Amino acid sequence: MDSTLISRADAVLLNTYRRQPVVFVRGEGSCLFDDAGRRYLDFVAGVAVNALGVNHPAWVRAISAQAAELHHTSNLYYTTPMVELAERLVTLSGMDRVFFCNSGAEANEAALKIARKWGKVMKGPRCTRIISLSRGFHGRTLGALSATANPHYCEPFTPLVPDIEQISFHDLATLDRRMDEECCALIMEPIQGEGGVYPTDPRCLQGIRSLCDERRVLWIADEVQTGVGRTGRWFDVHHAGVLPDLMPLAKGLGGGFPIGACLARGEAATVLQPGDHGSTFAGNLLAARAALTVLEIIERDHLLEQVSRVGELIRSRLQQEPLLTNVRGRGLMIGTDCARGDARNVVTRAREQGLLVNATSDQTIRLVPPLILTEAEALEGIEILRGALAGPAS
Ligand SMILES: *Cc1c(COP(=O)(O)O)cnc(C)c1O
């Protein structure tokens, strides 16, 4: 490991991350290689981003060819890849229209702004309240942060955006009471990701859809992490057979090329007018081409079926581990708790033995491997994890 690089990084980068002491230089499929040539099986995938793994030939070819032709024009003009991508997303999701942006936080900002404008236009000037859920995570910009429950992330930056209220996860009675004439939207993740991989039961998602319809409140289903095949369907809400009014996407969409999108349906797809919102980089040809390739390969290689099958295999194996409890998730978005509360040590030991996993807390391990992960790679990863779990408790 290049310790000079790490000290150079410490000298010039803002101190915003607790990085692990490893320098990656290349990758192949579901594996990364460090600067000493060591191979790591990657069950983090750039935090649920590298849907097609690393160095996927179709993805490399697509963005290389696009880069050689035309890469960016701004949204003052029309370009083909953006329109094709919007058409594909509309068809695959069942939503009506798309706004492009560059990250998950921005996709949520678009949804929150649409919700506020919709409330004022459709329900009246006092209709500004947005409800979010405890343990939820929606990003780091001030608006998205204001909808994020974790006081650790929020407190240094108050005052936040007003009139965003947190209620307890799954407390449908309170939700019902607070969805009044002054409430324009509910924002929530179908499976909470950063909060520790807590899935919402499909029946509960159906309940939320009915409640939002009854109370005339927009439902923002933040699928930034769950969307684009991660849970074995194109979008996680499809497991419940319901659609939200707004669906922010990002992480897996570009397969590692930064792109976000906010999908909108019905009235929510009609409220923004020219000048209301925008982004300079959004939907540029390279990003759109990368995302089109991700969608194409998921379909061509039947990855949704593979994600369901391999995810089920991983969960069934983890359930047999005595040092793990509460194995949960859908598809290749998997969480489990370490019985000894040593998740961060398990992450370190796994890395030392050639497996990358992520801890969302001292208890919880999160597995979000590339969607291309094979059964053989899954079993190899579980073997390494088993070894890491068996290490000393502290
Ligand atoms: C990661 C994440 C975000 C934030 O995405 P960024 O691209 O980091 O801004 C928002 N919502 C959910 C559900 C996420 O998992």
pLDDT, one tens digit per residue, over 271-288 is: 999 999 999 999 999 999
Q: Is the pLDDT of residue 169 over 90?
A: no
Average pLDDT over residues 171-185: 93
Cα-to-centroid distance, 105 and ligand 1 (Å): 6
Q: Hey, which residues does 29 pair with through a beta bridge? A: 54
What's residue 113's pLDDT? 98
- The closest-lying atom of ligand 1 relative to the alpha carbon of residue 141 is 9
Average pLDDT over residues 282-308: 98
CB 144 within 8 A of CB 177: no
- What is the predicted pLDDT for the residue at 342? 94
Q: Is the pLDDT of residue 383 over 60?
A: yes
Distance from the alpha carbon of residue 132 to the mean position of ligand 1, in angstroms: 15
Calculate mean pLDDT across residues 106-112: 98
pLDDT at 393 over 80: no
Residue 394: pLDDT above 60?
no
Q: What does the block give as tokens for 203?
A: 């029946």
User: What pLDDT does 139 receive?
Assistant: 97
Nearest residue by C-alpha to atom 11 in ligand 1: 138
Indicate which atom in ligand 1 lies nearest the CA of residue 189: 13
Under the banding of pLDDT at 50, 70 and 90, the label for residue 152 is confident
Dihedral pair phi/psi, residue 276, rounded to 5°: -70, -35
Cα–ligand 1 centroid distance for 140 (angstroms): 8
Whether 218 and 245 have beta carbons less than 8 Å apart is answered as yes
User: pLDDT for 219-262, tens place per residue?
Assistant: 999 999 999 999 999 999 999 999 999 999 999 999 999 999 99
Identify the residue whose C-alpha is closest to ligand 1 atom 5: 104
Q: Is the pLDDT of residue 360 over 60?
A: yes
In 3D, which of 322, 327, 127, 352 has the Cα closest to residue 218? 127
The answer to whether the beta carbons of residues 147 and 138 sit under 8 Å apart is yes
192 CA closest ligand 1 atom index: 13
> For strand 183-188 and strand 129-133, is the pairing parallel, antiparallel, or unpaired?
parallel
Atom of ligand 1 nearest to the CA of 106: 9
User: What is the sign, positive or negative, of the torsion defined by CA atoms of 144, 148, 154, 159?
Assistant: positive
Counting from 1 in the atom list of ligand 1, the atom nearest the Cα of 136 is: 13
Distance 138 CA to ligand 1 centre (A): 5
Q: Ramachandran region of residue 336, left (φ > 0), alpha (ψ -120 to 50) or beta?
A: beta
Burial of 203 (0-12, 13-18, 19+ CB in 10 A): exposed
Distance from Cα 139 to the centre of ligand 1, integer Å: 5
**How would DSSP label each residue in 211-263?**
HHHHHT-EEEE--TTTTTTTTSSSSGGGGGT---SEEEE-TTTTTTS--EEEE
- Minimal-distance CA residue to ligand 1 atom 6: 104
Mean pLDDT lowest for which of 38-52, 143-157, 213-227, 262-276?
143-157
pLDDT at residue 1 in the model: 74
3-state secondary structure of 385: helix
Among 197, 230, 251, the mutation site with the greatest number of ligand 1 atoms within 8 A of its Cβ is 251
Please give the pLDDT value at position 171: 82
Q: How confident is the model at residue 172 (pLDDT cuts 50, 70, 90)?
A: confident
CA torsion, ordered 78, 235, 65, 258, to nearest 10 deg: 80
pLDDT tens digits for range 58-83: 999 999 999 999 999 999 999 999 99
Residues with catalytic annotation? Answer: 137, 222, 251
Task: Report CA(220)–ligand 1 centroid distance (Å).
Answer: 14
Q: Which residues line ligand 1 (CB under 6 A)?
A: 103-105, 108, 137-139, 189, 193-194, 222, 224-225, 250-251
Mean pLDDT taken over the chain: 96
Question: What number does the ligand 1 atom closest to the CA of 144 have?
Answer: 10
What proportion of the chain, given as a percentage, has pLDDT over 70? 99
**Which residue from 101, 225, 226, 360 has its CB within 8 A of the most atoms of ligand 1, so it is best to mutate?**
225
Site to substitute for ligand 1 among 50, 138, 224, most atoms within 8 A of C-beta: 224
CB 108 within 8 A of CB 311: no
Q: Which of 49, 50, 138 to mutate to test the pocket of ligand 1 (most atoms within 8 A of CB)?
A: 138
pLDDT at res. 154? 87
C-alpha 390 – ligand 1 centre gap (Å): 32
